[in-house]
């Protein structure tokens, strides 16, 4: 059975929006996590910027009958059926983030450290231990769209979060440093 709602998550700079645009071109329905947050009144103003109140995201529902991908690094806080996690070598991620407007040294380091420590996995194991997950290394920016479409069509070929976490990308054990 095809999942109805799939989170497209990962650290900022791993390629979520790029992949979401590719999926849209293939006819997949994509919703940004910001749009989902707006629908459940989860956008708040904090110190001059908009933030998402993650505790409210699980109330968001997709009204369509086809699969929907939620694009955003907080998308896994929604009520979901499956997860696509994008990962990137921390050194490469630092390079990508340094080119972004609004990303100062502190914000870059915070996101690089989150990636180095596989922070998203610590959230996934708590929030969705049984959800099927596909992890993709985007360091070289080569995403095989057909493998993503295959996962969306049949996530049952993938392992659950709780069964995949031990085999997830481990930058630290591989000698990668931030």
Domain ranges of the chain: 5-89+120-167
- Separation CA 125–CA 122 (nearest Å): 6
Mean residue pLDDT across the chain: 91
DSSP assignment letter at 160: B
- Are residues 146 and 153 in contact, defined by beta-carbon separation less than 8 angstroms? no
Superfamily of domain 5-89+120-167: P-loop containing nucleotide triphosphate hydrolases (3.40.50.300)
Neighbours of 74 (CB within 10 A): 21
Mean pLDDT for 9-32 is 96
pTM of the model: 0.92
Q: Dump pLDDT digits (tens) for 49-99.
A: 789 999 999 999 998 889 999 999 999 999 999 999 999 999 999 999 999
Q: Is residue 2's pLDDT more than 70?
A: no
Mean pLDDT for 132-145 is 90
- Are residues 67 and 84 in contact, defined by beta-carbon separation less than 8 angstroms? no
């Amino acid at each position: 059975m095809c999942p109805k709602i799939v989170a497209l998550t990962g650290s900022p700079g791993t390629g979520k929006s790029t992949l979401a645009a590719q999926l849209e071109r293939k006819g997949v329905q994509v919703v940004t996590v910001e749009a989902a947050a707006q629908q459940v009144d989860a956008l708040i103003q904090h110190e001059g910027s908009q933030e998402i109140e993650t505790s409210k995201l699980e109330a968001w529902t997709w009204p369509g009958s086809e699969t929907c991908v939620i694009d955003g690094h907080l998308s896994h806080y929604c009520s979901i059926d499956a997860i696509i996690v994008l990962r990137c070598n921390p050194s490469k991620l630092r390079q990508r983030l340094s080119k972004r407007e609004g990303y100062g040294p502190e914000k870059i380091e915070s996101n690089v450290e989150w990636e180095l420590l596989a922070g998203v996995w610590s959230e996934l194991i708590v929030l969705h231990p049984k959800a099927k997950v596909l992890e993709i290394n985007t360091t070289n920016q080569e995403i095989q769209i057909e493998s993503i479409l295959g996962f969306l069509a049949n996530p049952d070929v993938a392992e659950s979060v709780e069964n995949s976490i031990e085999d997830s990308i481990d930058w630290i054990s591989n000698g990668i440093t931030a």
